[in-house]
Structure 1
Amino acid sequence: MNYLVATTKSWNIDAFHLHAPELPGTWHLISQPEQLTVALLDKLQPDYIFFPHWSWHVPDAITSQYQCVCFHMTDVPYGRGGSPLQNLISLGHKKTMLSALKMTSELDSGDVYAKVPLELNGTAQQIYQRASLLVYQIIRLIVSVNPQPQPQQGTATIFQRRTPAQSELPPNLNPEQLYDFIRMLDANNYPHAYIEYGNWKLELTQAEPCTDGTLQAKVQFHPLIGKPL
């Protein structure tokens, strides 16, 4: 059996190198969107293609010919759409499901191969890394059992993808909301929580609640482009 994993995030690439050697079959990795071509797939003829944390459109020519499995950090059909982790935390969720879906032309609407619980404590980076390990629990199940994916049940709830401007710290947050806002944006290559102060942009990471009800965080000052220092 022949399998392909397509992912660009460093933590998912690390998880591939850690777990793929333990799995049955022959495994291949692509880590750049431009590597995913029909010509490559025609050569490899993978039985499954797995897409952990993949943010690019996969052409119908691929999804219609191959068994493509994507992963979404909600209990679908609840939470289809963009920025699932940030939307979940901002809505007060403490846990979720990591869902493995048959990739289709309609975003996050495909049949479900499996779901596993995922805790939402810690920074976004810690949660993404935790999810990357759970992905391989699901992959192991799929390649071992070859389950028939089942249609999603219930009414769909759609999340909107966040924009970088939405990372600006809102006013009047209580300590728990402030902590959640900073940690849900605290991931590599993600727009961190920030405040604009004069000619500076103050980025906030590594938030930690204190026993006296206050909050501490790391602050990094960046000059605002176009504003003189």
Structure 2
Amino acid sequence: MNNHSLKIVFAGTPDFAAVALQAILEAGHQVMAVYCQPDRPSGRGKKLVAGPVKKLAEEKGLPVEQPLNFKETSDIKRLSDYQADLMVVVAYGLLLPQSVLDTPKYGCLNIHGSLLPRWRGAAPIQRAIENGDSETGITIMQMDKGLDTGNMLLKVSCPIDKQETGSSLHDKLAQLGGQAINQYLATYSPEFCGEVQDDSLANYAHKLSKQEAQIDWSKDASDIERKVRALNAWPVCFTHAGNKRIRVWQVELTDNHSTNAAGSVIAMSKHGIEVVCGDQKTLLLKELQPDGSKRMDAVALLNSRKDWFIENPVLGQHD
């Protein structure tokens, strides 16, 4: 099989997917059409804004399809008309029904941001950091009706650095995803069935929420530190000094201990704001962002708002 003769329909919406689409195009594959989520309202004016995949597809002159879902028979017929050999799906944002999975000649492939079956679901990148995993990676998977349950066709690993954030790991895996799909397509054979996942090893990576970003100072210092890194750059962890809400972009573990209550501010210096955690170990708050202000280092915040922490020596307590 001449693998550059494969007819591919691509489905994805955010920048993670756009990187993969760019890689597929650069490798010379035939992309018959691009599917992405409908444009969403954004900004103060709530104007409809196209996602990164749609913008790239339009730049390349590719047909763009944006069905709300695939419940209409006309949507399935439209997909069928492209006569695709494969559909490559990356962060599309919609659980595809069996009718879609069965439409391309050889089915649908997914580029998934974890070493399956470790993290299935919406936020595998962030959950890997939050749970202290030492590595993650990309899995190319044959899609089935389950959520990230299909056979694994190719796995490429990526170490998780101790300073890794959700944002930095996202970017690394986006690049790796593009490389992995091209590696797989280069030797594609429809007869290759891959490896069945061991369901007993699977964990569900729940979708991120703004509510979970509030720091619980009763947790261990290492747990809080990982969460801050995992939720950077969205939704970003936060705490309160009295009624002042402060986003926490960067923290640092210390070797110090304190018997003060969890959330207590015990030192303020050029190194940061030192806060006690539930295991009596302390964290240094290094980069912060008060509501309505830009990101700044702790020293800059203390220069203008040190009184916040003098008046509210225990963080997280607010009306």
TM-score, normalised with respect to structure 1: 0.81
5+ long unaligned stretches in structure 2 = 1-5, 39-64, 68-74, 255-270, 272-282, 294-319
SS at match of 2:133: coil
- What corresponds to 1:47 in structure 2? 85
1:5 aligns with 2:50: no
Which residue of structure 2 aligns with residue 170 of structure 1? 216
User: Does structure 1 retain, via aligned residues, the 8 Å contact 2:95–2:147?
Assistant: no
User: Which residue of 19, 24, 33 corresponds with 1:20?
Assistant: 24
Q: CA RMSD for the aligned pairs? A: 2.8
Superposition map of 1:90-169 within 5 A = 90-121=130-161, 122-147=164-189, 148=192, 149-153=194-198, 155-161=200-206, 162-169=208-215
Asked if 2 retains the 8 angstrom alpha-carbon contact of 1:175 and 1:215, the reply is no
Aligned to 1:226: none
Kindly indicate whether the alpha-carbon contact (under 8 Å) linking 1:51 and 1:68 is maintained by their aligned counterparts in 2.
yes
In the alignment, what sits opposite 2:286? 216
Aligned partner of 1:179 in structure 2 is 225
Comparing both chains, which one has the higher relative contact order based on Cα–Cα distances under 8 Å and sequence gaps of 6 or more?
1
Paired with 1:163 and 1:55, the residues of 2 have a C-alpha distance of 16
User: One-letter code of the match for 1:106?
Assistant: G
- AA aligned to 1:10 is D
CA distance in 2, matches of 1:111, 1:24: 26
Q: 1:195 maps to which residue?
A: 239
1:42-73 superposed Cα distances (whole Å, 9 cap, x missing partner): 23222221222233211211012232112333
Deviations 1:12-36 (A, max 9, x none): 324523x233223312433325715
> CA shift at 1:146, angstroms?
1.4
How many residues are treated as equivalent by the alignment? 219
Quick one: which amino acid aligns to residue 50 of structure 1?
Answer: V
- The residue that corresponds to 2:66 in the other structure is 35
| CA displacement at 1:182 relative to structure 2 | 1.2
Instruction: Name whichever of 90-99 and 167-176 sits farther off.
Output: 167-176
1:64 equivalent to 2:95? Answer: no
What is the rounded CA distance, in whole Å, between the counterparts of 2:10 and 2:167 in structure 1?
A: 21
Q: Structure 2: which amino acid aligns with 1:65?
A: T
Amino acid at match of 2:154: A
**Which of 248, 251, 254 is residue 204 of structure 1 equivalent to?**
248
Which of these two proteins has the greater Rg computed from alpha carbons? 2
SS of equivalent to 2:180:
helix
TM-score (norm 2): 0.60
Distance 1:43 1:99 in 2: 29
Q: SS state of the match for residue 201, structure 2? A: coil
Structure 1 residues 170 and 71: CA distance shift in structure 2, 3 A: farther
Query: Which residue in 2 is equivalent to 1:85?
Result: 125
Q: Which runs of 5+ in 1 are unaligned?
A: 224-229
- Matched-pair contact (CA < 8 Å) for 2:129–2:165: no
What's 2:42 paired with? none
